[in-house]
Amino acid sequence: MAKIFYSMSGEGRGHATRVRAIVDLLAPEHTIRIFAPGDAYDLLAPAYAGTAVHVEPLPGLRFFYTPEGKLDSPQTLLRSVSYIARFPLLLRKLRAIMRAEKPDLIITDFEPSLPRAARSLGIPFLSLNHQHFLIVNDLSILPPWLRRRASLIALVVRSYYGVPQHMVVSSFYKPPVKEKYRRQVTPAGVILRPAVLAQTPTREGHLLCYMRKFSSENVLAALETCGMPVRLYGLGERPARGRLEFRAISESHFLRDLASCEALISTAGNQLVGEALYLGKPVLAMPEPNNDEQIINAVFLEREGTGCWTGLADLDAMFLREFLERLPEFRERIVPENYSGNTAALAKIRSMLAAKSS
C-alpha cells in the first residue's frame, strides 16, 4: 500500500470531479491525502467525511467574473498577488508535511504548490489534468486567431505550473502530441467516476442544461421554444418558467438527468462534455465569455461532429432548432468507449508506483 498526496485547482467542478474519480479507484489499495482549495474543498470534504481519505484546505488561485458573466482577467491577476506573496510560506509548510509523512507519489490536477514542493525533495510527481494539452498537443488545426490565443494561454500554463516529469492529459479529444513531448505524455479520455460508469443511458424526451455562475436571457428564451421539457442546473432553485424546470445542484439527480436526456446544453468544460459523450449525448456547447480554453474545447467538439457550439449571447431559437434537428447525425458519430481515460490514467499511476518501489 502506497501513500499518495493529491492536489488540485479549486476553480470549477471539473477538477474536483476528476480527482474524486481517481481517488475512488485508488483508495481501496492506497492511503490518500487530498489538498483542495476553495470550491474543490467544499465539494470533496463532505464526500470523504468519515472515510480513510483525508481532505484538507489549501490556498489557491481563483477566477473572477464581471457581473455580465465574463472572465475578468485583470481582476483575476490582481487578486492573485496575495497568493503569490504567501507562496514561499506555503511551500515550506508542504515540504515539512512531506518530510514527516514521506509520500510515495504526488499527483496534481493543475495546482502549483504541491508539485513544486515535491520536486525540491526529489519525490516523484504526476500531472493529471486537461490544461497541459495547450503545451503538449499539436493545435495547428485551430483557426489562426484561436491558435494565437492558445499559445498565449500555454505560456501562462507553463509559467504557472511548468512541465512535469510526466503528464496524463485528460481530454474528450486527442490532437496529436508534439514529438518532443511524446515520452512524457499519456493521452487519456475523461476520468469517469463510478457513479457515471454505473449509469444506463436512455432517452426520455427532455433536454439537460447546465450554466455556471451566470445566465443569459436569450438562452432561457431559446430554451422555452424547444418543444420539450428542460431540466436546468446551475442557476439555483426557482419557480418553473414554462417547460423550464430550475433544479438545485445534486450530483445524483444531475447524473440521472444526464443519462436520460436527449442532449446536453452547457458551458464547454472538458469534464462535463466528456461525460455527456460517454453516455451517448450530443452537446450544444456555450463557452464562458473570454474563456479561450472552453472555446478550444467547443471547436474540437464541433470538428468531431458530436455536437456544435455558439457564444452564450448568440444562442437563439433558430440555432437551437437546427441543433435538435441534427441530433441523429451527432449520435451516429459518438463512440462512447473513446471517451473513457480511466484505464490509461490508472496504468500510468501504477507504473510510477512500481518504479518507486523497485
- What is the pTM (predicted TM-score) of this model? 0.89
Residue 119's SS3 state is helix
Structural domain including 172 reads 3-191+341-357
pLDDT at residue number 53: 97
**CA 90, 124, 180 angle in degrees (round to 5)?**
110
Instruction: Report residues of the chain scoring pLDDT below 50.
Output: none
d(CA 194, CA 47): 14
pLDDT at residue number 52: 95
What's the pLDDT tens digit per position in 204-242? 999 999 987 666 889 999 999 999 999 999 999 999 999
Question: Do 139 and 221 belong to one domain?
Answer: no
The single-letter code of the amino acid at 255 is L
* Parallel/antiparallel/unpaired status of strands 105-109 and 125-129: parallel
pLDDT at residue number 290: 84
pLDDT at residue number 195: 92
pLDDT at residue number 75: 64
SS (H, E, C) 228-287: CCEEEECCCCEEEECCEEEECCCHHHHHHHHHHCCEEEECCCHHHHHHHHHCCCCEEECC
Question: Do 175 and 222 belong to one domain?
Answer: no
Nearest to 2 by CA among 352, 343, 248, 245: 352
Question: Do 159 and 227 belong to one domain?
Answer: no
d(CA 280, CA 327): 11
pLDDT at residue number 38: 85
Question: Do 81 and 138 belong to one domain?
Answer: yes
How many structural domains is the chain composed of? Answer: 2
Question: Do 167 and 310 belong to one domain?
Answer: no
